[in-house]
Amino acid sequence: MLSTMQPTLATNYTTIPCYQLCYQHYATNLAPIIRSTGSMILNYAIIRLSLQQNLCYRKTCVRDTAQYDPPCNKIYTTGLCCSRTYKTLQAFFLDMSETPQKLREEAVKYFNETLDLMQKGENAEALESLRKAESSAQKAEDGPILFHILKVRGQLLQSLDMLEEALETYAFSLIMSEKLLSEDPENKLYTDTLHLNLNNLGNLGNAFQRMGNFPSSKQAYEIGIEICQNLLNSYPENEFYRMYAGNTLNNLGELLFTMGEPEEAKEKYEEALKTYSLLLKNSPEKPEYLSDTAMTLNNLGNLYSEKGQEAEAKENFEKALEILKKRSEKEPGNEKLREEIRITQEKLEAI
């Protein structure tokens, strides 16, 4: 659940004589309205209306009504003031439905309603509530609430098979997370959200590929790669970003090969292998890195085999087999690993 955020108070203008006069009178007369509408910034409203709408004729208090044009019709007990200003401010406070504070409260209400509906499995209704939350948060220009909304929206859209919209949301959220993280590198929320969205984007790319929507799949992979490469410039030792980049380069290579672009696919496979080699330098025995390396070597072997380049195909299959056998020695009960060895061995023998 999100807590409602309090607005930053505007500069206090009550030290200026004319505005002080207005403040004292309206604070007294409008106190019930202020209490009922929450934390309203009365002095900000006065200064805003006075300056923007020219309802205060002078910037200093005067005692002579004749100095007003037209003359002021009413003298309050606290001093001289323009009745038109009072009436306008009164109307303003009676219609505070879209103040930043009120909009924030609405955004939080609809966001929490979204989470409740998602827990009930009512995702279509949840999306409608989330859109209301987003509309209010945008009007309030509240970045933190929008950040949380984006975090949920992509997954919600994907659950409703609105995949193109989900792709746009993940991409925008990643860009926003990257920017926020650059300003606050130690913020765990930004880091976790960025990781989550990268994984969601990669899974979405895989889903597009399985559906045969190759352009959208390619776009999803390329966005993820670009974001990770930018992040690696700032965090060159970050294993998550490097591994994600390697996996996504491999997936993009597989997609390009399926699309009939073998040279471009080969380039991506080779980039993935370079990425894995950097990871293996620091963790040469890590199973995930070894497994991913063997997978890409097998993919590259398949590519060369399809092109009739048997020597290159054999070289890559042999490298993959060597890695898989070493892993199998340490994990003798791993059935999946034994199956990968069998398939790779068959490919090698078929050359």
Q: Is the pLDDT confidence value at 321 over 70?
A: yes
Helix (H, G, I), strand (E, B) or coil at 75: strand
With pLDDT > 90 as the criterion, what percentage of the chain qualifies? 65
Q: What is the distance between the alpha carbons of residues 17 and 35, in angstroms, rounded to a whole number?
A: 25
Give whole-number Cα distances, 79 to 43, 62, 74, 178, in Å: 17, 9, 10, 55
Q: Is 91 left (phi over 0), alpha (psi -120 to 50) or beta?
A: alpha
pLDDT of the residue at 107: 94
What is the Cβ-side half-sphere exposure of residue 93, based on CA atoms within 13 angstroms? Answer: 25
Per the structure block, which two tokens stand in for 165? 């919209």
Nearest alpha-carbon partner for 110 in 120, 95, 125: 125
One-letter amino acid at 145 equals: I
What fold characterizes domain 174-350? 1.25.40
Find the mean pLDDT for residues 146-170. Answer: 94
For the chain, domain boundaries? 17-94, 98-160, 174-350
pTM: 0.70
DSSP string, 111-180: HHHHHHHHHTT-HHHHHHHHHHHHHHHHHHT-HHHHHHHHHHHHHHHHHTT-HHHHHHHHHHHHHHHHHH
pLDDT digits (tens, 9 = 90+) for 46-100: 333 333 333 333 333 333 333 333 333 333 223 334 444 444 444 444 444 568 8
pLDDT of the residue at 36: 39
Counting every residue written for the chain, the total comes to: 351
Find the mean pLDDT for residues 224-248. Answer: 95
